[in-house]
Each structure stands twice: as C-alpha cells, then as structure tokens.
Structure 1
Amino acid sequence: MTTEESILNKIQILITNHFSTPEMAFNFFDENNDHKLTKSEIVKLLKEAEISGFIRGIVSSKLIEGYDKNGDELIDWQEFKAAIAKIKKSDS
C-alpha cells in the first residue's frame, strides 16, 4: 500500500467509524461554518485520522492542491465529495 493509499484509507476509516455521512464529517471539521475547509481544518481532520504529525502539513497542502478546483486554496463540499469518491473508488 502506497503512502497515499494508506492516508486515504485512514481518512475513510475515520469518516466511516465516527460519522453517519461524509457530509456530517465535513460539517464537523468546518469549524467556522463557512462551508469550506481551510488548511488548518484539514490538518485537524488528518490528526483525527491518526496521520503522523510530521506529514500532516504536507498532506493537507497536497489535498488542497489535488482537489481545490476553483483555486481558492480551500476545500468546499463539492471538492470534499470528489475526494471521498476517490477514496471509495480506491478501496474497491
């Protein structure tokens, strides 16, 4: 399992085990209720997913880089859903 697959797997486990839906997870980590996840909110999600502190900052930047389609350096609900869809697809 690659590092990326391992990280995606840990995120999926977090969402599956602690939230009824991905939207509930998104809303939980969206601390300021602006309907977007900031880098710091993503870092908290990664911490909860037990991603090593050493790589959380790198991973959060890569997630934003890979899924931020509108270029605002935030992850909105549609972008989050796309990331979750990739996680589910890679798990199949």
Structure 2
Amino acid sequence: MTSKEQILKKIEILITNHFDSPKKAFAFFDEDGDKKLSKSEIKNLLQEAEISGFIRGIVASKLIDGYDTDGDKQISWSEFKIAIEEISL
C-alpha cells in the first residue's frame, strides 16, 4: 500500500512541476470556483498526482478528515496551505 509520505511527495511533485505556486494549483483544481476543494476536486488532484484509482477516494477522504478544520467536508485555501506547508517540510 502507498504510504502517506509517498502520497504527499507525489502531490508536492505535481504542484512543483506543473504550477507556479500552490495558489495556482488550488485555483486550477477548484473547478466550480467556490474557493474550496470538494472530495471530487481532490480526487482529480490525486489523479493528476498519479495516485492509484483504487485508493484515490480513500485518500481524498483522509485528506479532508485531516485538514478540514471548519467541518464543512471541503478544503479551503487556508486549509490547503497548511497541508502544503506540511508537505514541504
């Protein structure tokens, strides 16, 4: 099974190699422009980061559970920044 560190590393590589900044990556995956990433938008990000389809839904749920501080079951820009800061350590 893929470890949390491997998944986070793939996300870091995706953002670093394909976007000028984490903010631009967030905006790209925020397909409906509501300034939040839904579970399906996070799954799209994970697909682009080459996370296996089998575990993509599980990982999206875990990311929401781990970083959704306001309890709306979505990831806001401020919550995304916290995740990115952890990845970059």
User: TM class by shorter-chain length?
Assistant: over 0.9
Equivalent residues, number: 88
Q: Secondary structure at the match of 1:34?
A: coil
RMSD between aligned residues:
0.7
Match runs of 1:19-38 below 5 Å: 19-38=19-38
**What amino acid sits opposite 1:8 in the alignment?**
L
Structure 2: how far apart are the matches of 1:52 and 1:20? 25
Deviation at 1:31, TM superposition (A): 0.2
Q: TM-score, normalised by structure 1?
A: 0.94
Query: What code does the residue aligned with 1:10 have?
Result: K
Consecutive unaligned residues in structure 1, runs of 5 or more: none
What corresponds to 1:13 in structure 2?
A: 13
TM-score, normalization: structure 2? 0.98
Q: Displaced runs of 4+ in structure 1, greater than 6 A?
A: none
Quote the sequence identity (%): 66
